[in-house]
């Protein structure tokens, strides 16, 4: 999941290229999803269950 803040023109291909150049194979993301925000609890933790259910 990617939340783009500074450059809204950022593409999936650019992210994949960056990951291929900087991460080992098992650390690369299998899929890339753009979101405006991430769901968070009242104390600020990311609600991973909601992210899994949204897929």
- pLDDT single digits (tens) 1-55: 788 777 778 899 999 999 999 999 999 999 888 888 899 999 999 999 998 887 7
38 C-beta neighbours (distance < 10 Å), count? 13
Question: For the domain 2-54, what is the CATH superfamily, name and number?
Answer: ANL, C-terminal domain (3.30.300.30)
What is the predicted pLDDT for the residue at 26?
Answer: 96
pLDDT score recorded for residue 40? 95
Q: What pTM did the predictor assign?
A: 0.68
Give which of 2, 37, 40 is closest to 19, Cα–Cα: 2
């Amino acid at each position: 999941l990617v939340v783009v803040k500074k450059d809204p023109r950022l593409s999936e291909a650019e992210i994949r290229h960056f990951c291929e150049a900087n991460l080992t194979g098992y650390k690369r993301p299998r899929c890339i999803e753009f979101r405006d925000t991430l769901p968070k609890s009242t104390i600020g933790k990311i609600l991973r269950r909601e992210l899994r259910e949204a897929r």
